[in-house]
Structure 1
Amino acid sequence: MSGKIRHFYEFSDFRLDAENPSLWLNDRLVSVPPKALEMLTLLVRHHDAVVSREELLETVWRDTFVEEGNINYTVSLLRKTLGEKVKGELQFIQTVPKRGYRFIADVREVVESEADEKATTPNLIADSSDAIPAGEPKPQIRWHLLGIFLLGLSLTTSFAFWWKVDERGGLAGLSVAERNVRSVAILPLKTLGEREINESLSLGLADSLISRLGSLNRFAVRPLNAVKAYADDNDPLTFGKELKVDAILEGTLQTIDSRLRLNMRLLDVRDGAQLWQGSFDETKTDIFQLQDALSLQVTESLTSKLNQQERALLTKHDTENREAFHSYSRGRAFLEIRNIEKAIPEFQLAIRLDPNYALAYTGLADAYSAHALFTSSANAEFYNQARALAEKALTLDPHLSEAHTALGRVRYLHDWDWAGAEKSFRRALELNPNNVKAHQFYSRLLATLERTQEALAAAHKARELDPRSADLAIPLSAILIKRGEFDEALKVVTAAIEMDKDYRMAHRCVGTIYLLKGEYAKVIELGNQHFPNPKETDFAWASMLATAYHRVGQENKATQMRKHLTGLAATDLKALYYLAMHFSELGHADEAFAALQKCFELREERMIWTKDEWRLASLRDDPRFRELVQKMNLAR
């Protein structure tokens, strides 16, 4: 019976498999991007004939509009891959001026039948009836020996794969699929011209692609917060190593009249190899078509096959309104830099432009929750608005991970609905395991519920997904402080300050750790560094300094700082909670409980840490403390 016929092309020490596109150097698979492999196959099939640039564009890039510069780039890449020049002379691809390219190496076409290949394979277990004379007992097959043989074969194969991975820096001989890319960073596109206009679009495209790839649960995808610091003068491979990813997508964005032009490339951070490159040219009105094409091509360059559900996730449109998308992107960009005042009107505009834009409702919910966290007055109004917006988003799209996170955040910080919050965070992570915010707030919830090991696992997962985030140091350090691991907590926040030297929360956390360690002189030193004018001291440092001055016997300064803190607490609920902690450290239980009761009634979000707050330790044996904890459903 004849088998399937397969065609190969051999030239020099290379073999090109045209049926299952791949290039081999002797017995080693050579990594070649898909478009470069298509070009090589076309040139080799027409060897000694000139292939025009027009034919290359129509055949290799038939579904994509690209510049002719892509041809030059791909030819250069092929020449480098083939080790083109020997003694300065071309031996594979020749440029024919004004006409195209010609493959000039000697090519041998090889035709093989799969049946022929099988026929040459020895039959390891022969038909015993032909070998054993009649009347003689048939020997038993020694299955244990066969098992040993198969185990040895398996180990040999594994060793061969390891050897293949290890040679030439580890990855040079592997195809994209064999490289086992498990983590990816999508960088904001470098903008060419109209910088201010294009920057929000660049972030919007990156955010959309991050969300789409993250929802597949095939790769760990770094969040927008991790990549937004990427600047035009950064080296993408160096930045990728800082992000601890296997692959990184970078490119440029340019607007020309009414068109958007993107040039993209996907790089393996581990050895610098280019895994894919593509160019896109669309009208500004086709932004969603651009998102779909980009999402599919990038993902297909990393994985062998996508199922129907995955394709649907990659081409999901949160809105069909281009202006609403741009407004949402601007709002998200403002929110990422904590500019809440500018973020809110952008999200509101996106909702007016498209009342069914679930993601815009989620963005506005996040903005109101952030506003509540930083406001000096009662925060119920902002949290109520955030809850309503998150619920509206889920009505429009029940499968939106970000909306479940937004709702869980309100349930945790304001409603103190621990079961409801956990349900929301778990659902968010089911829908998108790369949702860093969900991991972050889930870790805080688990710590509140005294499920410390789970809390640490969630906190470490968040930091694994976003290793450059200073923000993520705070929940992790809070868990470590809760466990009494002050030195470890100090290492975490010190590293955060190295990433963001102006991060106030991290500096506060350092002061808190030194206060809990009893190093009051250090607290005073740091407080005076941050606030040379005592009258400008914020509530957190005022609370710590008042206690530190009291502990070292500087009562005049302690009293001065306490009065300053009391003045802040008259209008700021957050300052009132810090005043309660200071009263506890003074042993003034009645004043401390009066402040905590008011914080409880107005649902100050810092109350969620009350049960295990070290600075409230003197109150724990008081029946009023147990009653307060029970009211919050946090009793043991």
Structure 2
Amino acid sequence: MNTADRVLLREGEPVPLTPKVFDILITLVENSGQVVGKDDLMKKVWPTTFVEEGNLTQNVSLLRKALGESAGGAQFIETVPRRGYRFVADINVSHGLQHVRPLPTGSIEANGNGGNGANGKPAETNPPVEEVYFSKATDLVAQPGPPSRVAVFQKSRVAYLATAALAVVAVVGLFYFTGWSKAGEPNAIQSIAVLPFIDESGDADSEYINDKIAESLINSLSKIPQLRVVPRSVVAGYRGQRIDPRQVGKDLNVRAVVTGRLRRHGDIISIQADLIDLENVAQLWGQHYDHKLSDVILVQEDISRDIFENLRLKLNVEEKKKIEAYRLYLKGRNAWNKRTSDGLQQGIEFFNQAIAIDPDYAEAYAGLADCYNMLVVYGRLQPKEGFPQAKEAATKALDIDENQAEAHTSLAFIKFRWDWDRAETEREFQTAIRIKPAYAPAHQWYSSYLVAVERFDEAIAEAKRTEELEPLSFVASSHLGWIYYLSGKNDLAIEQCKKILELDPSSFPARRYLGLAYEAKGMYAEAINEFQTGLKVSGSPLMLALLGHAYAVSGNKTEAEKVLKDLEQLQSQRYVSPYTVAAIYVGLGDQEQAFTWLERAVEERDIWLMNLKVDPVFAKLHSNRKFGDLL
């Protein structure tokens, strides 16, 4: 192993390794004979990037294969359960070249000294020769490991010279065949095309995933100023064709292409991605990925990260920062998409990390605003706590980039739910959609506004458009059920939510809207069952309040009052919407208490108040004068 030029040779021939796999090898060899903890290894190899342990395991597996490990055969790396890894091959350091000899399975000598004699010195099984150490150029220090694991690998001068000669030949070969520069660095790949992946599933959902990954990869790679990336509109023409990458290279005038295969297994998406150097007709890198559909954003992030490492580009500090900030942004969006309390908090952390790297990152500020908005929706923050922070972040994003569709969408949500400014709400939503027509959340939240102002047909159209843009999103699909319910189309709401629950029984938004539709049709037992199941899944005060209302309208006053007590106790732990408490009193027929809680909702600027006029739960209050005053 030549650490200076980052080359690993086997019998004089180069062994292909990705940069991260080579980093793992260096780290393990530097600490030869010693256990390197998994956390320490991940921090060393990915110092500025959060990665899961599975990434490390996968790369160690690739390293083992490259070194030639096999069951019952030579062993280079030992897994130490629950701790980490240890390099167990014998090593010899000489003039900047490090040779490793695998430790045969079960080769620890009976004396426990790993080949040492009784005095702890190397047993002279070979003619004694001079010992050689790392040169200063390697920036490594020879660290002898425990005697039981590391023995000095001694070679004769003739053997050393022969090996050195092979190394020179190999380096010259690499220069000739891979286009390394005179300075010892490989020529950078400065043009690339991401070709449509081959879809081995053959269903519409997989086609959508394919498009999503290709679009995201192209956007990600386009962040590098030095790299010319062929637009998606151009490469889309290759979909479904038998492709010769070399011909594509000539047609598009690119040095490299990304190709791949995609297969869906239930809620798991499997992808094989490859980076091909067309100039040298060589595969520079290939990797297999398995992710849940809900984490589809992370597939693209993983692939783009690995491609960056293999393009041989010399990035300056600012370019590296922008790429790292973008990766953190993608992680933040993936966490936000989960719509759970933990996911939203994770999203805030990732977006803040991206902003710390790039203070002018408008998209990250918009993501931050979305997280605070959703923390209010899911009752983790009071409106007065979450919305001001969301508004500050969205405004900052627009100060940086006034054409940021995500930020306009975030601000529209705030104008609607917090500022109660309908004119500004409409303007912001329309601006967002004009800037980025395919941004699904803009259509989703615009539909919520439209249904609240009784523009039902438009609301349904926008909700359907959301589902078209995000066909795999249960959030988008369940939202259409919600709009159907508020529009008085309960049968359609029931049909929509049942479809979702067949695919994902844990979708509590679908449980919520299905229960409401059942309740509107007088099917109280079915409604109670859905709310009970949704409560078990989510633990949400909103779901508990809906259950209380269902008990009330079904005539079960005792259980409804019990829910009211539970909500009162819960208020000390998390935010409980006054609007939802008022709904229970409506079900109990206590209009005085219902209006008391609705007035409190006005004081707190409860987010659900904007639905008051169209919410079937409050239909019995319409004839009361106080209801008109509230509107």
Matched residue SS, 1:472: helix
- Aligned equivalents of 1:455 and 1:210: distance in 2? 35
Matched, 1:455 2:453: no
The answer to whether the 8 Å contact 2:570/2:576 transfers is no
SS in 2 for 1:321: helix
The superposition leaves residues 581-624 of structure 1 with CA deviations (integer Å, 9 ceiling, x where unpaired) of 11112221111111111111111111111111111111112121
Q: 2:332 corresponds to which residue?
A: 331
Q: How does 1:398-413 map to 2 (within 5 A)?
A: 398-413=402-417
Shift of 1:376: 4.1
Change over 3 Å in CA distance of 1:413–1:613 after alignment to 2? same
Classify the secondary structure of the residue corresponding to 1:186. helix
Aligned to 2:519: 515
Render the CA deviation track for 1:111-132: whole Å, top value 9, x for unaligned: xxxxxxxxxxxxxxxxxxxxxx
Superposed counterparts of 1:35-50, under 5 Å: none
> Partner amino acid for 2:211?
I
Q: Distance in 2 between matches of 1:400 and 1:285?
A: 31
Give secondary structure in 1 for the equivalent of 2:273.
Answer: strand
In the other structure, the counterpart of 2:421 is 417
For residue 236 of structure 1, give the secondary structure of its aligned residue in structure 2.
Answer: strand
Distance 1:508 1:280, change over 3 A: closer
What code does the residue aligned with 2:464 have?
H
Q: Does 1:595 align with 2:597?
A: yes
Instruction: Label 1:216 to 1:344 Cα distance change in 2 as closer, same or farther (>3 A).
Output: farther
1:548-589 per-position Cα deviation (integer Å, ceiling 9, x unaligned)? 444454443333233223433576554422110111122211
Q: Which residue does 2:384 correspond to in 1?
A: 380
Q: State the alpha-carbon separation in 2 of the partners of residues 279 and 483 from structure 1.
A: 43
Change (3 A) 1:320 1:530: closer
Match of 1:349 among 342, 350, 353: 353
Percent identity of equivalent pairs: 27
* Aligned amino acid, residue 628 of structure 2: R
Superposed displacement of residue 326, structure 1:
2.5
Pairs within 5 Å for 1:218-233: none
Match of residue 502, structure 1, among 499, 506, 512: 506
Q: Return closer, same or farther for 1:579/1:260 CA change in 2, 3 Å cut-off.
A: farther
Aligned equivalent of 1:611: 613
Q: Is the 8 A contact 2:336 2:371 kept in 1?
A: yes
Spell out, residue by residue over 1:254-309, the C-alpha distance to the aligned partner (whole angstroms, 9 max, x if none). Answer: 89xxx994799xxxxxxxxxxxxx9999654979999xxxxxxxxxxxxxxxxxxx
Kept in 1, the 8 Å contact 2:581–2:597? The answer is yes
Q: Alpha carbons of 1:249 and 1:465: their partners in 2 closer, same or farther (altered >3 Å)?
A: farther
SS at match of 2:398: helix
The one of the two structures with greater contact order (alpha-carbon pairs below 8 A, sep at least 6) is 1
Distance change >3 Å, CA 511–CA 382, structure 1 → 2:
same
CA distance in 2, matches of 1:582, 1:263: 55
Query: Does the 8 Å contact 1:490/1:510 carry over to 2?
Result: yes
Determine whether 1:252 maps to 2:273: yes
Contact 2:553/2:588, CA 8 A, preserved across alignment: no
Alignment of 1:273-292 (within 5 A): 284=309
Cα 1:207/1:421, change in 2 over 3 Å: farther
TM-score, with normalisation over the residues of structure 2? 0.52
The CA distance in 2 between the partners of 1:512 and 1:451, in whole Å, is 20
Aligned to 1:472: 476
Partner of 1:439: 443
Cα deviation digits, residues 227-277 of structure 1 (max 9, x gap): xxxxxxx9737699x9xxxxx99752689xxx994799xxxxxxxxxxxxx
Given candidates 483, 486, 490, the residue that maps to 2:487 is 483
Question: Does the aligned pair in 2 maintain the 1:471–1:496 contact within 8 Å?
Answer: no
Partner of 2:211: 186
CA drift of 1:318 comes to: 11
The 5-angstrom pairing of residues 152-231 of structure 1 reads: 185-188=210-213, 205=217, 208=220
Contact 2:567 2:576 in 1 (8 A): no
8 Å Cα contact 1:365-1:385 kept in structure 2? yes
Mapped contact 2:218–2:231 kept (Cα < 8 A): no
| 1:236 is aligned to 2:238 | no
Is 1:389 equivalent to 2:393 in the alignment?
A: yes
What value does the CA root-mean-square deviation take over the aligned residues?
4.8
What runs of 5+ residues in structure 1 fail to find an aligned partner? 1-55, 78-181, 190-202, 220-233, 243-247, 265-277, 291-316, 630-636
| Alpha-carbon distance in structure 2 between the residues aligned to 1:623 and 1:213 | 63
Superposed, 1:523-534 pairs within 5 Å as 523-529=527-533
1:574-593 paired onto structure 2 within 5 Å: 574-593=576-595
Counterpart contact for 2:512–2:530, Cα < 8 Å: no
Give, in angstroms, the shift of residue 511 of structure 1: 1.6
Task: Check 1:486–1:236 CA distance in 2 against 1; reply closer, same or farther (3 A cut).
Answer: same
Query: Tell me, which stretches of 5 or more residues in structure 2 are unaligned?
Result: 1-176, 180-186, 199-206, 224-228, 237-259, 277-282, 289-302
Cα distance change of structure 1 residues 453 and 583 upon mapping to structure 2, 3 Å threshold: same
Q: 1:382 to 1:217 in 2, by over 3 A?
A: farther
CA contact (8 A) 1:543 1:582 kept: yes
CA distance in 2, matches of 1:374, 1:405: 18
Structure 1 residues 610, 528: closer, same or farther in 2, change over 3 A?
Answer: closer
Q: Secondary structure at the match of 1:252?
A: strand
Any idea what SS the aligned residue of 2:397 has?
helix
Given residue 262 of structure 2, which amino acid in structure 1 is its aligned partner?
Answer: P
CA distance in 2, matches of 1:407, 1:287: 41
Distance 1:283 1:542, change over 3 A: closer
Measure how far apart 1:490 and its partner are.
Answer: 0.6
CA 527–439 in structure 1, closer or farther in 2 if over 3 Å, else same:
closer
How far 1:477 moved relative to its partner? Answer: 1.9
State the distance in 2 between where 1:530 and 1:611 align: 25
Query: What count of residue pairs does the alignment treat as equivalent?
Result: 386
The code of the aligned residue for 2:609 comes to M
Question: Which residue matches 2:559?
Answer: 557
Mapped contact 1:187–1:249 kept (Cα < 8 A):
no
Asked whether 1:370 is paired with 2:353, we answer no
Residues 422 and 468 of structure 1, relative CA distance in 2, 3 Å threshold: same
Mapped to 2, the partners of 1:392 and 1:613 lie a distance apart of 34
